[in-house]
Amino acid sequence: MNVRIVKVPGLIGPSASPGVSATIWVLLLALLCFVAVAHETVLPAKFLLDEQVILERMVTVSRFEAFGDSFDNLAWTLRWLGAGTAGTSLIGFFASTVGLVLAIWRSGVTSLTGTEFLLACFWLVAQTVYIGMPSKEIVISLAVLVILQCKDSRFIVVIFTACVALIAVFFRTYWAITLAPALLLYFGPAVLRKPLSLAFVAVVLFACVAVNFRIQYGETLDFARQMVNESRYPNEVGSLIVQIIPGGNIVSDVTNAMLILGTFLLPLPLVLSGVATQTIGGICTFFTLALMFSRYQGRRAVAAPDRFGKLCFCFIVSFLATQAIFEPDYGSFLRHLSPISPLMLYLLLSSRSERESEAPRSSMIRSARSHSGQPARG
């Protein structure tokens, strides 16, 4: 069986040979595997906070329940599996890494450009830092891996919905909010997936959630963020997300959410945070989202793309909008973006691959028309 090696940029020429490329991939993944296994000594203490909570609760947690405490549910699951710290780290590392490598491979590209390779390396590192240890992101990575593995299934939407619903019920309740607009965009007309329509959908989503929060909890749209941040200080967390416009009414709630969403797409708070890792994260996040959205929107087939590409696009848009409501700081935004990075890389690369495959076909059509005497269309 022939194994297709996605070639990496070479020192001389557009790409390295398959053998050299395979060697670079293996060395990179081996290094990251070492970081995951030795994370307790390699990574700063601030990255280990979730791990400490989970390990403590593995000793005391007694049940796994729907809409229960997400840390308790994860701790119960890991204890049931009999996974210790090292085993959990390897599960997280392999789930996230295999997912991203699979996304690159299944995107259809034969080689990566310099920018694409750097972005792939960044997200591999980010996943290792955030998921190569006991954390709730492991569950997200496993779900993404399942979704990628089933991308060509006729039941992919059902599988996707089931995975997101399980996460919402047992680990992240607000993912239920993410699921609804994702399915709306997927099954809705193509015009909904255009930039202006997406902005309108975001406004409607924020307004609906703001009204719901006031009815159910008597709170503003960002009360969950405020509840998390009220005991934190800017000197402890260098990139807190705060209200940009004061007001406390639905108009200011929606306006603030839209502005925060804008800072996700153009992550200046990360870039200007003064923390080197967050600055790099902001730059790489911007280029990932910018390339992904521009390539996808620039495709001729945006009105009728492949099912999985459309599903990835709709989910990512919905995910970003939901995070604008709940994310407490930009570092957490980067953390929560890491496990879905395989879907972003898949969309980024598959859009480029499809555009390249369309170019020769368009050229052949124009050539055939010119030989037959028909006018060629631009």
Q: Residue 210 has which token pair?
A: 């703001």
Residue 290: in which H helix or E strand, if any? helix 276-298
Residue 181 and residue 323 in contact, taking contact as beta carbons nearer than 8 Å: no
pLDDT in tens, 328-357: 989 889 999 999 999 999 999 998 866 565
All residue ranges of the chain with pLDDT < 70 are 1-3, 12, 46, 232-238, 299-305, 353-378
Nearest to 291 by CA among 103, 115, 111, 104: 115
Nearest 10 degrees: CA dihedral of 121, 126, 129, 130? -150
Nearest 10 degrees: CA dihedral of 272, 123, 178, 185? 100
* CB neighbour burial string for 341-351, b if at least 16 within 10 angstroms, e if fewer: bbbbbbbbbbb
**SS3 state at 307:** helix
Quick one: the chain helix, strand, coil %, rounded to 5? 75, 0, 25
**Residue 325 burial (CB < 10 Å; 0-12/13-18/19+)?**
buried
Q: Rounded distance, CA 184 to CA 357, Å?
A: 29
Residue-level pLDDT at 314: 95
**SS3 state at 179:** helix
Structural domain spans, the chain:
18-352
Output the CA torsion sign for 142, 169, 192, 197. negative
Q: Residue 346 has which token pair?
A: 């898949």
Residue-level pLDDT at 150: 94
Angle between helix 156-170 and helix 137-149 axes, rounded to 10 deg: 170
Cβ within 8 Å of residue 43, ≥6 positions away? 35, 129, 133
The DSSP output letter for 240 is B
| Residue-wise DSSP of 5-32 | --BPPPSSSSS--HHHHHHHHHHHHHHH
